[in-house]
Structure 1
Amino acid sequence: MRINRLITAVEAHAEGEPGRVITGGVPHFPGNTVFERMSYMQAHHDDIRLKMLREPRGNPGLCCNVIVPPCHPDADMGFIIVEQQEYPPMSGSNTICVVTVLLETGILPMVEPVTELTLEAPAGLIKVTATCKEGKVTSVSFENVPAFAVHLDAKVEVTGLGTVTVDVAWGGMFFVLAEAAKLGVDLSGDNGGEILRVSEAIRHATAEQLPVVHPENPAITGPTITNLWGPPIDPATHGRGAITISTGPFDPAQPQAASGILDRSPCGTGTCAKMAVMHARGQLAVGQDYVNAGPLGTTFTGRILRETTVGPYKAIVPSLSGQGWIYGTANYTLDPSDPFPNGFTVGDMW
């Protein structure tokens, strides 16, 4: 066997959403913050993202995380999140996967029954509390970056759908949110094809007609991801959502050919964005829980810890909790004669 690259990883998922965690085999990414390290990776080592997320090593539904040394003195570890079409500044499910891997593999020490640590994500510092028992992380709760609504009840013109009412909010990524019932869309996971086609059309139109920029970091723009939401079907929950992650470019002339994948989890940043919208409307108070269900019926629990401001926007500081599970370890290699060094995509899946 000939190898000119070896990448080690731990395979994990958070409430169903896979979040591969790379633990070795990547070069040093310079930068004074993890956001700068992420930007360097994106500019100079994007081949790592392609290798890990595309076939044959990856699949459309996979997310990935790269463990990096932290830059902030208060952080215990840093991580870079990579997805099919972007480098998200923050992700709830990926944070839960990273914490689970760091503690259960011994990269960082586990303290039972509670381990406290601080991670540095590209979006900033994330304070984490992990409940642990007999070497297993049974729950991860973290204080997310502030979340805020930018647009409420805005109108966008969407090809094939007409005028659609949307909200745009930041929860660690910029989301466009729309009520599924008003679009006639069933949020069942079995309806994933229609969900992604509608979601991608709305996202594309909103990004063109209502582009947004983070007031504290102009390099973060959007919206880049869609949250179709609906009422709960389980009395133990407060709502549900279907988050679509793009896996390819969107052509408005061929909306039926849109490519994307449903987040298998309830989506942590999507839950926080939804809570910011609800709080802006007076529907969710400080200290109140919001249990959000995803397409598998698994849940994340969010809570508004306090109010704050981000630039000109009224914002909330949310917490989010859920659980992750490790399901494997792997060594990924690259044969120098491999005709697909950066992987590939095929239209039947992508």
Structure 2
Amino acid sequence: MPFSRSISVVGCHAEGEVGDVITGGVLDVPGKTMFDKMIHFWTQKDSLRNLLLNEPRGRSSMCTNLVLPPCDPRADAGFLILESEEYAPMSGSNTICTTTVLLETGMIPMKEPITQLSLDTAAGLVTVTAECEAGKCKNVSFDNVPAFVFELDYKVDVPGIGTVSVDIAWGGMMFAVVDAGSVGLTIENRFGPKLVEYGEKIKRAIQKVYTPVHPENPRLGPVSILCFTHPLEEGPRGKTAKTTTVVSPGRFDRSPCGTATCARLAVLHARGELKPHETFIHKSITGTEFITHIRGTTKVGKYDAVLPTVKGRAWITSYKTVVLDSSDPFPEGFRVGDQWHVSE
């Protein structure tokens, strides 16, 4: 068969967000850290991301994870997160997907009822606890890297919208957090196109005037992702809030978004609305949820930071081999304007 690429992939989703996992067909690359490996793929081997995520093999609403040997000797495995517009340093839903695949396929031995492991990411070491029963990951909880706030109520002028108040925070990615009601919207599917439009406009406006600098790695910016929120509510299981995250080039995260949740925990703590060890349930536009809490506090450079823990579930959906025929006219796929919000 005239195939120039053959890649083994396990299909998976976490609380609705697709996070497929590459388990074979891709070699390791040089790098002292997972961040170095991420940059190597981004600058020298980006054809892999394009092949898998662009049409006709991929779609706008999906991510793919690449399992690699870890750089940190404390880690059981390393992985990189491939998204449509970027390589994410960290992702909660993708951590949950990758853990589920590693354990349910036997790549890392599953121990019942609890399996503990560590994963090396471009954002740092993430420790994971999986509740397991009869060969299945019932849920996955991860202790994320510290999350902290750069700005509260930062005012940005957005063409076509006006002045918008945003919170800028690190949760494993650089986030803008915006109260949906402040721009006249609520998190409902009927407002889907407008939420995406506003989210992309606000992100672009922030990028022109403000670039947050992570004290431990200045290359982790700029703001590339935006979380719309509703105010906190008191519920029988703890404090809750609805959310949706706008991922470029213009779509919703189908899960509550783990890194958005961590950024939101940092914002809520900075505002005095959430204390350590209080339960916070983040609910997505699809109705799924992450159960979270702040397990402690720390400092990152000059910033007060929280230590977030997030729990969710993932399910394997397929086992597939993705191939590239040598005569295929789209070796890196394509995008069209009906789904991808592109003009060319």
Question: Do the aligned residues in 1 keep the contact of 2:243 with 2:285 (CA within 8 Å)?
Answer: yes
Tell me how far apart the structure 2 counterparts of residues 48 and 22 of structure 1 sit (CA, whole Å). 11
1:189 aligns with 2:183: no
Q: Deviations over 1:289-326 (max 9, x none)?
A: 11000011100011101110111110001100000000
**Alignment map for 1:19-98 (pairs within 5 Å):** 19-98=19-98
Counterpart for residue 250 of structure 1:
none
- CA 1:79–1:297 in structure 2 vs 1: closer, same or farther (change >3 Å)? same
Tell me how far apart the structure 1 counterparts of residues 157 and 289 of structure 2 sit (CA, whole Å). 32
Tell me how far apart the structure 2 counterparts of residues 119 and 2 of structure 1 sit (CA, whole Å). 36
Tell me how far apart the structure 1 counterparts of residues 285 and 42 of structure 2 sit (CA, whole Å). 30
Tell me how far apart the structure 1 counterparts of residues 10 and 189 of structure 2 sit (CA, whole Å). 27
Alpha-carbon shift at residue 28 of structure 1 (Å): 2.0
Counterpart for residue 245 of structure 1:
247
Question: Do the aligned residues in 1 keep the contact of 2:186 with 2:230 (CA within 8 Å)?
Answer: no
Counterpart for residue 111 of structure 1:
111
Tell me how far apart the structure 1 counterparts of residues 215 and 208 of structure 2 sit (CA, whole Å). 19
Question: Do the aligned residues in 1 keep the contact of 2:129 with 2:142 (CA within 8 Å)?
Answer: yes
Alpha-carbon shift at residue 189 of structure 1 (Å): 2.7
Q: 2:254 aligns with which of 231, 250, 264?
A: 264
Counterpart for residue 287 of structure 2:
297
Counterpart for residue 219 of structure 1:
219
Alpha-carbon shift at residue 213 of structure 1 (Å): 1.6
Tell me how far apart the structure 2 counterparts of residues 197 and 116 of structure 1 sit (CA, whole Å). 40
Counterpart for residue 316 of structure 1:
306
Tell me how far apart the structure 2 counterparts of residues 111 and 190 of structure 1 sit (CA, whole Å). 44
What amino acid is the match of 2:241? G
Alpha-carbon shift at residue 190 of structure 1 (Å): 3.6
What amino acid is the match of 1:204? R
Counterpart for residue 346 of structure 1:
336
Counterpart for residue 296 of structure 2:
306
Q: Deviations over 1:30-88 (max 9, x none)?
A: 11111111111111110000001000110000101000001111100000001011111
Q: Deviations over 1:185-219 (max 9, x none)?
A: 12113421111001111111111122112111011
Superposed CA RMSD: 1.2
Alpha-carbon shift at residue 234 of structure 1 (Å): 9.3
Alpha-carbon shift at residue 286 of structure 1 (Å): 0.9
What amino acid is the match of 1:340? F
Q: Is the partner of 2:218 in helix, strand or coil?
A: strand
Tell me how far apart the structure 1 counterparts of residues 170 and 258 of structure 2 sit (CA, whole Å). 12
Tell me how far apart the structure 2 counterparts of residues 298 and 231 of structure 1 sit (CA, whole Å). 17
Tell me how far apart the structure 1 counterparts of residues 248 and 232 of structure 2 sit (CA, whole Å). 25
- CA 1:233–1:151 in structure 2 vs 1: closer, same or farther (change >3 Å)? closer
Tell me how far apart the structure 1 counterparts of residues 312 and 6 of structure 2 sit (CA, whole Å). 31
Counterpart for residue 276 of structure 2:
286
1:170 aligns with 2:160: no
Structure 1 unpaired stretches of 5+: 248-259
Equivalences, count = 338
Tell me how far apart the structure 1 counterparts of residues 242 and 73 of structure 2 sit (CA, whole Å). 37
What amino acid is the match of 1:241? T
- CA 1:18–1:291 in structure 2 vs 1: closer, same or farther (change >3 Å)? same
Alpha-carbon shift at residue 327 of structure 1 (Å): 0.6
Question: Do the aligned residues in 1 keep the contact of 2:28 with 2:69 (CA within 8 Å)?
Answer: no
Counterpart for residue 332 of structure 1:
322
User: Which range moved further: 83-92 or 228-237?
Assistant: 228-237
What amino acid is the match of 1:136? K
Tell me how far apart the structure 1 counterparts of residues 234 and 30 of structure 2 sit (CA, whole Å). 47
Tell me how far apart the structure 2 counterparts of residues 316 and 232 of structure 1 sit (CA, whole Å). 18
Query: TM-score scaled by structure 1?
Result: 0.95
Runs of 4+ in 1 over 3 A off after TM superposition: 231-237
Alpha-carbon shift at residue 13 of structure 1 (Å): 0.3
Tell me how far apart the structure 2 counterparts of residues 24 and 99 of structure 1 sit (CA, whole Å). 16
Alpha-carbon shift at residue 331 of structure 1 (Å): 0.2
Identity %, equivalent residues: 47
Structure 2 unpaired stretches of 5+: none
Query: TM-score scaled by structure 2?
Result: 0.96
Q: Deviations over 1:103-150 (max 9, x none)?
A: 000000000000000000111111100000000000100100000000
Tell me how far apart the structure 2 counterparts of residues 165 and 3 of structure 1 sit (CA, whole Å). 51
Counterpart for residue 120 of structure 1:
120
